[in-house]
Amino acid sequence: MKKLLGVLTLGLLVGCASGEANKIPYKYRTEAQVDRDCKAMQAKYKDSKGYASESAGTNFAMGVIEQMRIDMACDPLKK
pLDDT of residue 40: 92
pLDDT of residue 45: 84
User: What pTM value is reported for the model?
Assistant: 0.58
Would you say residue 71 has pLDDT above 70?
yes
Q: At 40, is the secondary structure helix, strand, or coil?
A: helix
Among candidate residues 51, 74, 54, the one with its CA nearest the CA of residue 63: 51
Q: Is the distance from CB of 51 to CB of 58 less than 8 angstroms? A: yes
